[in-house]
Chain A
Amino acid sequence: MSQDNKVHDDEGAVDINLPPDPSRRFWVTTACAVGGVAGVATVIPLVSTFAPSEKARAAGAPVEVDIGDLAPGEMRTVEWRGKPVWIVRRTQAQLDGIKAQDALMADPKSLRPGFTPSYAQNEYRSRKPEYLVCVGICTHLGCSPSAHFNTGAAAGGGLPSSWEGGFLCPCHGSTFDMAGRVFKNKPAPDNLEVPPHQYLSDTRIIVGVDENNKA
């Protein structure tokens, strides 16, 4: 007995207490399932419109930089994929400072994956000890740290007196040394990202591409 059996009550209505016809139930379920698939299929293109457009992807092209006129202790910022990329020519004192501070670093050897290409997984996190190339975006929440190259008491900004020069993120107080390595117990979980880059000559580098053609 189902609602499809023509059994009417005294007033000629179908008894709503009877179960619906099983074959109707099948078709209702099928229609909902197929309709649901169509609905989901429609949502996919809408959701996809959120991804970076072709224009944004194209803007991620590599950038060439001339570093011939960079003096020791000087820093230059270039834009790659809309992000600041720092190129710092480090002095010998700064390089010594990096060496001395291994114990204070969260990841002194840059072993955590994703932020350091293999050619920069060394003491100074660079291809040539003198030059640091890194993305100036804090690995915590994306602020751009500021350079604090003065050492010791001259550093200011609430930095410790043992400061050997480095970067301070103004947003949440993460500190990084002259190799972009994050200090222990700071909000930032990782060292600053070293972007894929290579030397075209002694004075020219290209950021955004390396031997592995990893853009």
Chain B
Amino acid sequence: MAGEKSVETTGLLGWMDRRFPVTSTWKAHLSEYYAPKNFNFWYFFGSLALLVLVLQIVTGIFLVMHYKPDAERAFQSVEYIMREVPWGWLVRYMHSTGASMFFVVVYLHMLRGLFYGSYRKPRELVWIFGVAIFLCLMAEAFFGYLLPWGQMSYWGAQVIVNLFSAIPFIGPELSIWIRGDYVVSDATLNRFFAFHVIAIPLVLIGLVAAHLVALHEVGSNNPDGVEIKQGPKDKHGRPKDGIPFHPFYTVHDIVGVAGFLIIFAAIVFFAPEMGGYFLEYNNFVPANPLQTPPHIAPVWYFTPFYSMLRATTDEFTWVLAGSALLGGLVLLAKSNLKGFMRLAVPGILFVVAVLLRTIDAKFWGVVAMGGAVVILFFLPWLDHSPVKSIRYRPTWHKFLYAIFIVNFLVLGFLGTQPPSDVYNLTSQIGTMIYLAFFFLMPVWSRLGTFKQVPDRVTFHPH
């Protein structure tokens, strides 16, 4: 028929296909998207993250139907959901557990990327979209945490908004502008509600789409870090080491979903507070603007970064300034940077070293905390190792990763604890290890004896 596209499908699907790319999209992203056949359990966490996102959106919609974003009534409306709305407790516990599990799944997903070099060329944008999703997730969690209007909600928000007041010159005005008041108040609650239920989720969904489109453009990495598109192909031009995502990985992922839901349901039904880690005990006390609880700590998923914030005292900025100075001198003496950058990079480091001692430590604490996340964006360009996957790296690289992981967990633990001298020193050492892991990566990642990467992926049929 004139003006209509010719398609292979018939009937209703054919009618659709002539007007909308149903079949071609299905093929491009599922039935003819070839993923490496050697995925292991680490590859569950991407699809699980998508599952938790859907869960959060659905439970969130139902919570909004009963919640009141009003400083006078917010706390009470959450209790109303818990006690009087039929099954409201379940919806709320699913949402609160979902928030923590989102971070569990995303941290493991990011760790997988770190292990197998999934951020390396040509997947830099997949990684960058991913880190942006992580940032959005942190914002989403932070805004959401104010809504129950408990003591932790209130003082947590107070601390984080005050981070912005550390910015020189505009800081104090900026933090008033963010709060819409001189302290966290009803105005703050209302705008955080708007961010939590609409603004950030919209951005998040857009970024998830971009993450997947970028991934499907370049193809998935795998535990061997071998490019299957460059390997042998069958007579149809399909990579021999690839299998269609659907049905193979959809079924594979359902196994992951089943396992995940067992754990998820166990938490929701038996330990929704998770010993004060998922829902902090102080948050069962209504917000009191005149009294900070004796010990405040953020929810567990923020604590590693929170530790770095606390570690940055005036004394510690000497260490940071010294490191920046030393780094600048080494780069000046020997680096492979060319032209303008040859002098500019050491120059910037020297300026940073001076600023570290001229601007308040409070500001640098904020920079350390933010920088710890932002540095992840640069990972594709920090890693210079000749192989992608940890499988073919020198053994001592694996120890470095182990130290990094343990260090991250220790920082996480310290962030939940009240401040003390010993803990403070430990978190300062931990902060240095975290920063050194990334800043020195261009050096250490190319050292050592690398193993031979095979031509094909390692795969043993069951």
Contact = CB atoms under 8 A, between A and B. Distances in A.
Interface of A: 50-53, 56, 60, 77, 79, 81-84, 106, 136-137, 140-146, 158, 169-173, 184-189
B306 to A, nearest CB: 9
Given A52-B182, A53-B187, A185 B158 contact: no
A173 B155 CA distance: 15
Contact of A52 (B159, B163, B187): B187
Nearest to B157: A142
Given A52-B181, A171-B296, 9 more contacts: A50-B191, A56-B187, A137-B183, A142-B159, A146-B292, A172-B309, A172-B419, A185-B313, A189-B362
B159 A56 contact: no
B283 interface: no
Interface residues of B, number: 42
B314 A185 contact: yes
B292 A158 contact: no
B425 to A, nearest CB: 12
Given A141-B159, A187-B310, A187-B365, A81 B182 contact: yes
B314 A51 contact: no
A189 B361 contact: yes
A142 to B, nearest CB: 4
Interface in B143-161: 155, 158-161
A144 B161 contact: no
Given A81-B182, A187-B365, A144 B292 contact: yes
12 contacts: A50-B191, A52-B181, A77-B290, A84-B290, A140-B162, A142-B183, A143-B292, A171-B419, A172-B310, A184-B314, A185-B313, A189-B360
B182 A143 contact: no
B161 A142 contact: yes
Closest 7 CB pairs of A and B: A173-B419, A142-B162, A82-B183, A144-B292, A189-B360, A141-B162, A81-B182
A136 B183 CA distance: 12
Interface of B: 155, 158-163, 165-166, 176-183, 185, 187, 191, 289-296, 309-310, 312-315, 360-362, 365, 418-420, 424
A56 B177 contact: no
Contacts of B191: 50
B296 A170 contact: yes
Contacts of B289: 79, 82-84
A80 to B, nearest CB: 9
A156 to B, nearest CB: 11
Contacts of B361: 187, 189
